Amino acid sequence: MNRSFAVLNELLVDLFNDILIIEQNALAEGKFNDLSITEIHTIEEIGMYGSRTMSEIAMDLGITVGTLTIAMNNLVKKGYVNRQRSDRDRRVVEISLTRKGKLAFRVHEKFHTDMIKNTIDGLTEEEGVVLNSALEKLNKFFKSNYNIKRTGKKE
């Protein structure tokens, strides 16, 4: 059991760090090298279709609206995001992706799709079920013990 514990700990730490490095490298070497990991995840949170309010996005990212405003200023300047006041309530700011933002979203989504496809490639159905079950238990543990919301951000 001690050996399994050490191996699992090393695997989880390595996987977490490797995924972050791979994402950073993919951004740095790709068409969207002007985006940071934080910015691409903000784009991901905005979503492809329609618009979302600053408050909704900030809540899902687990940050303040003030912090998000700084990020949005940069994304607007870079041409990834549109920002406009709501017609119903001028105090509300609505955010949507530009064409360039939607392309960045799709490229990042493809990165995740490819990562998952390669992870499960070659697994038997039973191994896939076991992997999903183990990851669901781990996910549930983190959320219940570290006050993590659905989006994966700390409240």
| Domains of the chain, CATH where assigned | 2-121 (1.10.10.10)
pLDDT value of position 1: 63
| Coil/strand/helix, residue 93 | strand
Nearest CA to 114 out of 14, 23, 47, 45 is that of 23
Q: Which tokens sit at 21?
A: 């490095």
Nearest CA to 72 out of 55, 90, 50 is that of 55
20 and 31 in contact (C-beta within 8 Å)?
Answer: no
Per-residue pLDDT reduced to its tens digit, 20-44? 888 888 888 888 899 998 999 999 9
Q: Which residues of the chain have pLDDT under 50?
A: 151-155
Nearest CA to 72 out of 48, 96, 90, 92 is that of 96
Q: What is the pTM of this model?
A: 0.80
